[in-house]
Structure 1
């Protein structure tokens, strides 16, 4: 391991006195370039680790007792279980990287126990109500109406994530086969089909532009003409939901509803997994619980012996 360089007045990486903040920046690059993690994950993990480094700034302080004390402070401050689970995951990943790089011999975070995080059932919008939301967005102009309807159609037709929708270029659309290529978590690409209503909405959107859009131009543009951002898409979806009595509707609600409605219609679970871009079938299985919940409710209302 390194030692303190007295002449230069600085710390050699690997020394117990090495600055944790500098190592966190290197770890963030590892997440980005080697593991291909999303920018949102990198920001979250870096922010969590920087919070620890503010209290325990040197590498020698990255040890189990300090980690437990820091996490205990977070719990007392009212941090949610999901937040605690993420911070423990960040510490474990960082510790494993420190060992792999030779900065530590043992990962002290490996002994941390993550809290069990309950996964609430997603809110599902009824199919009839979903049709109203998509057909009549709360747009203020004809131009934004065409764009907003295409956004709502595609989100519901495909179940893609809001970040995936914002990243779609014209070249990613195949309006002959009714498919779209999206880039999901870890920059993984997949091709997702959509139906005729979404195809018509996309064709209308592209035809409404004053000039033909180039292949690398974004399909969905914001108010200033550049690529639309997730925040604006969330606002479009929320306002459309409010207009039709669906409170707190967001892009993820459209994704949940699309997955549940596909399963209700008889789609295979693995097909839904592929469409949604889930790396694990276990993630997709939550939608089977939603379908069963709907089936149980229908049974209670319809069966004479329920």
Structure 2
């Protein structure tokens, strides 16, 4: 089973084109399964259900259970095609429903205050961090997409960035004057003194490509300064999407901007906007 799991992970990465995070998650789940079900003779529906039940007993979240179910179902389909199984055993497993929470969204004034208040240790880092915050909020891109950007991916004259998203899908996203100014200042005044031999747009203190964890710390520190603690880059992504919709942007435009493969994923922001509209109505209408 262990060898088959590695072959399946390689198939996901090279043939299907799944993201590195998805491949890691599926491999981890299936290796855990292999400790309970070490060979294909034991790959039965009852044993799979027992493995999932054990996760429930350990207090695993619904999201973890859903991912485990998705992993074993995809593996079962692949194993059947490869001849390891005579039937797609896991096809009958039911994926648990995940309770989707409405994302935390900053107000427009909060977002504007946040991107202008990077808490940095030096002038060069302040210029870098300001450009990072501006670009995250301007484009709604994921933190891994931002850290993967090279200088050549950004066109300051046009105000666009070429982003590589999940499954290595590329898209072009626009950004406005504030992000353009912040990026130009970073590139002209600070990056030359911080960067080593790298094409990365954003670099860390050692001169190499900046790490996603460092970007999360940059956002968190700015949130603490502005009174919005425990903030994440995804909060800026949620805020950008919500503010676009509230400003009249079409849902499919927001889908393209965020790089969602399904419009259903983008539709959660319509619920966020409706909730915010209700809050404003309750405060403003005299008979609310």
TM-score normalised by structure 1 residue count = 0.91
- Counterpart of 1:240? 222
Whose helix proportion is higher, 1 or 2?
Answer: 2
User: Measured at CA, do residues 212 and 137 of structure 1 come closer, stay the same or move farther in structure 2, by a change above 3 Å?
Assistant: closer
- Counterpart of 2:248? 266
CA deviations on 1:67-121 (whole Å, 9 max, x unpaired) are 0111111100000000000000000000000011121121111111111111100
Please, which of 23, 30, 34 is the counterpart of residue 15 of structure 2? 34
Distance 1:39 1:186 in 2: 8
- Counterpart of 1:158? 139
Q: Secondary structure at the match of 1:190?
A: strand
Does the 8 Å contact 1:169/1:218 carry over to 2? yes
Please, which of 22, 26, 31 is the counterpart of residue 3 of structure 2? 22
**Is residue 2:46 matched to residue 1:51?**
no
CA deviations on 1:8-61 (whole Å, 9 max, x unpaired) are xxxxxxxxxxxx000000000000001101111000000000001012111211
Q: Which contiguous aligned blocks of 4+ residues in structure 1 show a shift greater than 4 angstroms?
A: 211-216
Equivalent positions of 1:1-306 (< 5 A) are 20-208=1-189, 209-210=191-192, 217-306=199-288
**Pairs aligned (count):** 287
Distance 1:244 1:216 in 2: 33
Kindly report the root-mean-square deviation, in angstroms, between the aligned alpha carbons of the 2 structures: 1.5
Unaligned stretches of 5+ residues in structure 2: none
Superposition deviation, residue 213 in structure 1: 7.8
Superposition deviation, residue 210 in structure 1: 3.1
Distance 2:13 2:28 in 1: 15
Superposition deviation, residue 225 in structure 1: 0.6
User: Measured at CA, do residues 236 and 211 of structure 1 come closer, stay the same or move farther in structure 2, by a change above 3 Å?
Assistant: closer
Distance 2:82 2:39 in 1: 16
TM-score normalised by structure 2 residue count = 0.97
Unaligned stretches of 5+ residues in structure 1: 1-19
Larger Rg: 1
